[in-house]
Amino acid sequence: MQVIKIEDLYKTFKTYKRKKGFVGSIQTLFTKEYITVNAVDGVSFGINEGEIIGYVGPNGAGKSTTIKMLTGILYPTSGVIEVCGLIPTKDRKRNLMHIGVVFGQRTQLWWDLPLIESFELLRHIYRVPEKIYRDNIALFAELLDIDEFINTPVRLLSLGQRMRGDIAASLLHNPDILYLDEPTIGLDVVVKERIRQFIKEINIERKTTVILTTHDLSDIEALCNRIMIIDHGKVIYDGSIDEIRRRFGTESTLLIEFKEPPDQLEVDGALEIQLEGIRASIKFDRKRFTASDLISEIAGKYPVLDLTIEDISLDGIIRDVYEEGKLHESVS
């Protein structure tokens, strides 16, 4: 079942040249000088129930802007957004009842209140039944260890604690859809891993649909079955991670250790060779040569001690995709 539908979505920001001081701000009120930024520039996609989507792209690509429109903070300049059949800005409250939102950059908890009291307030606001509330708090205590700091005022929490608090808060009312905008920013590996496990668990147990933006592609590899890459407000890739690997990630590296350092290394079909003493790294394109071709060629000429094959990392692939996007742009 499709839970999110976006068609031809545009968001243009008008930034007025804001002038300083009182007189300046009065002037801005009446001048029409502004710059426009097409933050989201004709985006269309559909998302099915229970998917975990990785929404990635370079800084300023338009990820947060898309999420702000999905949550009803921003009005689209044009286009259609439907979330479970609702229009987020028009049916704001009803839409919010069945979504959860985390903006990693900025907490939505009450700054001066202990975490538990923020949860209490949310229980009232979302009218969460007592039993569900208690079960959820117990679950979050178990999976996120929030009970360690639940009585601390939010302003005193560390970044990792606060993030766990924010994620727990976003799920108190059992939302159908969870938007996570950089939920792992600035976190250590342990907390990161814990949050990933948690998201996975919630997704499996509750069929919660998750949209995740992040600059840490290991988040995406750990969680997502589908990835959308956006750049300059346009979706430039939408598909599975396997597919993107097949299409862009055909470059592999062969790492070889020789018995004795060869004077010179020549391999047919290598894209790039680096030789340092007894170690060499050889880049090749898997579409044109198989690893075993290459290995038998090398082993025939030089005495090999050890070898490993490294696939290009997802980071590398995405970087290639971004650059290709730039290429297209400069051509067009």
Partner 1 sequence: MFYIKLFFTFFKLNLKAQMEYRINFIMSIFHILILQLGNLGLIWVVLDSFQALREWTFGEIAFLVGLRLLSHGLFTLFLPEIYWGLSNYIVRGEFDRFLLKPVNPLFLLITNGIILSGITDFSSGIVILWIATKSLGLNWTFINLLILLVVVFSGLLIELSAYLATSSVAFWVTNLQTLNFITFQFHEQYILYPVSIYGKPIQYFLTFIIPFAFINFYPSAYFLNKPSNLLFHPYFAYLTPIVALISFGVAYFIWKRGILAYQSTGS
Binding site for partner 1 (CB under 8 A): 13-14, 16, 18-19, 22, 24-25, 28-29, 60, 64, 68, 71-75, 92-94, 96-97, 101, 103, 105-106, 108, 110, 112-113, 117, 120-122, 124-126, 153
Q: Residue 232 Cβ, how far from ligand ATP at the closest point, in Å?
A: 9
Q: Residue 212 Cβ, how far from ligand ATP at the closest point, in Å?
A: 13
Positions touching ligand ATP (CB under 6 A) are: 13, 15, 37, 39, 57, 59-65
N-term to C-term CA, the chain: 37
CB atoms < 10 A from the CB of 208, how many?
A: 22
Nearest-5° angle of CA 186, CA 192, CA 193?
165
Cα–Cα distances in angstroms (integers) from residue 315 to residues 59, 114, 299, 320, in the given order: 15, 38, 31, 9
Tokens of 186: 């600035």
Residue 61: contacted member of ligand ATP, partner 1, Mg ion, none (CB under 5 to 8 Å, by partner type) = ligand ATP
* Residue number with CB closer to ligand ATP (10 or 13): 13
Query: Measured between alpha carbons, how far is 8 from 318 in angstroms, rounded to an integer?
Result: 24
Residue 332: contacted member of Mg ion, ligand ATP, partner 1, none (CB under 5 to 8 Å, by partner type) = none
Q: Residue 102 Cβ, how far from partner 1 at the closest point, in Å?
A: 10
Q: Residue 141 Cβ, how far from partner 1 at the closest point, in Å?
A: 21
**209 lines the binding site for Mg ion (CB under 5 A):** no
Query: Measured between alpha carbons, how far is 253 from 283 in angstroms, rounded to an integer?
Result: 4
* Residue number with CB closer to partner 1 (112 or 148): 112
DSSP for 26-64 reads HHHHH---EEEEEEEEEEEEEEETT-EEEEE-STTSSHH
Backbone angles phi, psi at 118, to 5 degrees: -60, -45
Q: Residue 35 Cβ, how far from partner 1 at the closest point, in Å?
A: 13
H/E stretch holding 305: strand 304-311
Pairing assessment for the beta strands 78-83 and 226-231 based on DSSP bridges: unpaired
Residue 62: contacted member of Mg ion, ligand ATP, partner 1, none (CB under 5 to 8 Å, by partner type) = ligand ATP
Q: Residue 107 Cβ, how far from ligand ATP at the closest point, in Å?
A: 16
CB atoms < 10 A from the CB of 20, how many?
A: 8
Q: Please count the helices (runs of H) and the strands (runs of E) in the chain.
A: 11, 13
Tokens of 108: 């939505």
Residue 57: contacted member of partner 1, ligand ATP, Mg ion, none (CB under 5 to 8 Å, by partner type) = ligand ATP
Stretch in the footprint of Mg ion (CB under 5 A) among 63-71, 194-202, 204-212, 228-236: 63-71
* Residue number with CB closer to ligand ATP (68 or 192): 68
Query: Measured between alpha carbons, how far is 321 from 317 in angstroms, rounded to an integer?
Result: 6
Residue 106: contacted member of Mg ion, ligand ATP, partner 1, none (CB under 5 to 8 Å, by partner type) = partner 1
* Residue number with CB closer to Mg ion (74 or 270): 74
Query: Measured between alpha carbons, how far is 290 from 60 in angstroms, rounded to an integer?
Result: 39
**64 lines the binding site for Mg ion (CB under 5 A):** yes
**65 lines the binding site for Mg ion (CB under 5 A):** no
Q: Residue 300 Cβ, how far from partner 1 at the closest point, in Å?
A: 56
* Residue number with CB closer to ligand ATP (57 or 160): 57
Pairing assessment for the beta strands 304-311 and 251-258 based on DSSP bridges: antiparallel
